[in-house]
Structure 1
Amino acid sequence: MDPVTPLVVDPSSAEPPYEQVRRQVAAGAAGGSLPPGHKLPPVRQLAADLGLAANTVARAYRELEADGVIETHGRRGTFIASPHLSDPAAVEAAAAYVEVARRSGLSREEAIRLVDDSWTTPRE
């Protein structure tokens, strides 16, 4: 997770462990301690860290995804959802940039470096 906002599961609580995980991640996303785009640990890693069964964490992640709190991107991982990443204008602009970068012969790393440079140095 995040060293600033570790999850804690209380085995003596009447609240099921999956719900404790779900509630804490949702609260972190809503409160900003888990910002949009923050990568969550894989199910098995978080389960091991918390001393839970993988199915328990998987259930929490499924419910969070159904609620739109997180997004799972296969092997890339699970992330706190961002409304900006599904904005059609942003998706179209990113796709257009990638097309131009590829045609220009830029590597992925070079293209990302140009974005980073532009992000930190505003154009006038």
Structure 2
Amino acid sequence: MTGIGSITIDHDSPTAPFEQVRLQIIALVRDGGLIAGQKLPAVRELAHTLGIAANTAARSYRELEAAGVVETRGRKGTFVVGTGDVTRRSAELAAVEFVRTVRALGFDDAAIRGVFESALG
């Protein structure tokens, strides 16, 4: 099954349900299971379908909107903004800002790589 209907919640998972929804929607957008402009179910409908609280579904949508994956158009609903790796641009911008910050602290490229590798640790 593709699209929003393929989302499942593992209630035994240590990952919070809102995060499971968020991550699965991002994966569906990246993989083309959800396409730009596609309308997502209303919060209450998504919550009912997945067996989660409406506040949980709403939090997933809010976090997806903050990440630029979806947009809410008032009463019209929530829609997918783009397709492909929609989070890559944010990651690239964060990496650029990281490099700018540590260069301002006097680190050269080798030291920056070391700091980055340590952070991945």
TM over 0.5: yes
Match of 2:52 in 1: 52
Between the aligned residues of both structures, percent identity stands at 52
Question: In the TM superposition, what are the counterparts of 1:104-115 in structure 2 within 5 Å?
Answer: none
**Matches of residues 1-124 of structure 1 in structure 2 within 5 Å?**
4-5=2-3, 6-82=6-82
**In angstroms, what is the RMSD of aligned CA positions?**
1.3
C-alpha distance in 2 between matches for 1:27 and 1:70 = 13
State the alpha-carbon separation in 1 of the partners of residues 18 and 56 from structure 2.
5
Deviation, 1:30, is 1.3
TM-score (norm 1): 0.62
Q: Which residue of 1 aligns with 2:106?
A: none
Instruction: Work out which structure has the larger RCO, using CA pairs closer than 8 Å and 6 or more positions apart in sequence.
Output: 2
Q: Give 1:31 deviation, angstroms.
A: 1.4
Deviation, 1:15, is: 0.5
Which residue identity does 1:71 align to in structure 2? E
- Kindly state the Cα deviation for residue 4 of structure 1 after the two structures are TM-superposed: 2.4
Cα distance in 1 between the residues matched to 2:46 and 2:7: 9
Tell me how many residue pairs correspond in the alignment.
81
Q: Give the Cα–Cα distance (whole angstroms) in 2 for the partners of residues 58 and 76 of structure 1.
A: 15
Match of 2:116 in 1: none
CA distance in structure 2 between the aligned counterparts of 1:24 and 1:53, rounded to whole angstroms: 17
- Aligned residue type for 2:51: G
Displacement after TM superposition at 1:82 (Å)? 3.3
Structure 2 unaligned blocks of 5 or more: 84-121
1:9 partner letter: I
Asked if 1 retains the 8 angstrom alpha-carbon contact of 2:47 and 2:56, the reply is yes
Structure 1: gaps spanning 5 or more residues = 84-124
- Structure 2 distance, partners of 1:65, 1:4, is 21
